[in-house]
């Protein structure tokens, strides 16, 4: 291996293509790969990059296809189905593994392989996109500002943009699991829209920002614990109050979405919705932004909170995935399983173009 040879798997998908184009902008020349030869070859020809095609059905063939690359950025979800064979191939071939998942079960599985990866000399680094670089960096930053914190709340709000076909398929694949928190160190399933709050924020540029948000089973319910050790974690996403009320009324129907016929119907609807597009337009990616807020609380009543703003989520993912790949190839992460901020520190998010980070505000305990 050359020490800087790397691959983007799933390059013909919506997010994978964005990562590939960003890599070329950064002067890098990854190998583009995926399941379908024709689709990968077309993009590779346009970008002037090498390519190959192989399925993920057999870890041995995956390992053979990775034998000449130092790292792979895995962009082909749903990762609950695709991460395991890719990771097995990476460990067998000595290839560093990065992905853009936001799925808790995948994060937990990757973290459980720490010793295996360490002995193989391989870095396992999931969540190198919007899931979960900004929130993970926020969690690490707040934990450092208030050592001994027992509770962590994180929230993210999309201000423009939308979902890709791949993200939508992953959400459907993970139904009916629409709620989870971490409580006393353990992940606990909870009902959809289990908790909600109103966020009244002052952004880094001094403007005001107000949204309602509800709890979701976001990846940080897993990763933030591994990054910070904080045992109680809730993650919220911006949701209109009417939608929160509707979701709570319909909770009794959600278990039905776990049945295969219902999932097939929802998948077919998603395919029709994205028949003419893969995800948000270039204009939406350029104009959109993501607002991320975090707060930690100490048992003695002290708290700390902060806010940051990133480019639109898919645009951020392309930027962050390439930056994390560059760092892994440069040897900046030790072998083993890591979260993004665990590998590179809370300053990781600040190294991404277009990110604005607010100050950490500390609040003292009220006297009784």
Cβ proximity of 97 and 72 under 8 Å: yes
Long-range contacts of 198-203 (CB under 8 A, 24+ apart): 199/155, 199/157, 199/236, 199/238, 199/293, 201/291, 201/293, 201/307, 202/307, 202/358, 203/291, 203/307, 203/309, 203/356, 203/358
pLDDT one-digit tens code per residue, 44-78: 999 999 999 999 998 888 999 999 999 999 999 88
Nearest to 343 by CA among 186, 142, 129, 123: 123
Three-state SS for 284? helix
Beta-sheet pairing, 180-183 with 356-357: unpaired
Q: Which residues are bridge partners to 72 per DSSP?
A: 7, 97
pLDDT of residue 22: 98
pLDDT one-digit tens code per residue, 308-348: 999 999 999 999 999 999 999 999 999 999 999 999 999 99
Average pLDDT value over all residues in the chain: 91
pLDDT of residue 225: 98
pLDDT at position 368 over 60: no
Cβ proximity of 223 and 339 under 8 Å: yes
pLDDT of residue 159: 87
Cβ proximity of 130 and 310 under 8 Å: yes
Cβ proximity of 316 and 289 under 8 Å: no
Angle at the Cα of 237 from the Cα atoms of 275 and 199, rounded to 5 degrees: 140
Cβ proximity of 129 and 352 under 8 Å: no
pLDDT one-digit tens code per residue, 2-27: 457 999 999 999 999 999 999 999 99
Q: At what angle do helices 165-173 and 260-273 cross, to 10 degrees?
A: 170
Cis peptide before 132 (omega within 30 of 0): yes
Domains of the chain: 6-129+315-345 (3.40.50.720), 133-312+352-363 (3.30.360)
């Amino acid at each position: 291996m050359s020490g800087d040879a790397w691959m983007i798997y799933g390059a013909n998908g919506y997010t994978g293509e964005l990562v590939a184009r960003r890599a070329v902008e950064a002067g890098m020349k990854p190998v583009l790969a995926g399941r379908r030869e024709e689709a990968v070859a077309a993009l590779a020809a346009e970008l002037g990059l090498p390519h190959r095609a192989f399925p993920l059905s057999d870890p041995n063939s995956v390992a053979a296809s990775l034998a000449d690359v130092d790292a792979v950025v895995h962009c082909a979800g749903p990762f609950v189905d695709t991460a395991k064979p890719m990771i097995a191939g990476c460990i067998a071939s000595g290839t560093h593994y990065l992905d853009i998942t936001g799925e808790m079960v995948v994060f937990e599985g990757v973290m459980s392989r720490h010793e295996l990866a360490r002995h193989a000399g391989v870095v396992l680094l999931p969540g190198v996109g919007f899931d979960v670089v900004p929130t993970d960096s926020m969690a690490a930053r707040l934990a450092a500002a208030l050592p001994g914190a027992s509770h962590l709340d994180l929230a993210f709000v999309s201000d423009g943009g939308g979902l890709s076909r791949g993200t939508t398929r992953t959400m459907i694949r993970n139904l009916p699991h629409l709620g989870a928190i971490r409580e006393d160190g353990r992940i606990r399933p909870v009902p959809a829209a289990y908790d909600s709050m109103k966020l009244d924020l002052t952004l880094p540029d001094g403007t005001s920002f107000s949204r309602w948000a509800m709890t979701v089973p976001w990846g940080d319910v897993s990763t933030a614990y591994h990054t910070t050790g904080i045992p109680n974690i809730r993650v919220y996403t911006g949701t209109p109050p009417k939608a929160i009320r509707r979701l709570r009324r319909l909770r009794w129907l959600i278990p039905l979405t776990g049945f295969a016929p219902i999932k097939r119907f929802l998948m077919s609807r998603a395919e029709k919705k994205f028949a003419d597009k893969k995800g948000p337009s270039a204009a939406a990616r350029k104009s959109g932004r993501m607002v991320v807020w975090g707060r930690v609380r100490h048992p003695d009543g002290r708290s700390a909170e902060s806010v940051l703003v990133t480019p639109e989520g898919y645009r951020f993912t392309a930027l962050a995935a390439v930056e994390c790949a560059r760092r892994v190839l440069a040897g900046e992460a030790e072998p083993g399983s890591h979260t993004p901020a665990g590998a590179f520190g809370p300053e990781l998010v600040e190294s991404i173009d277009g990110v604005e980070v607010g100050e950490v505000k500390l609040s003292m305990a009220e006297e009784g």
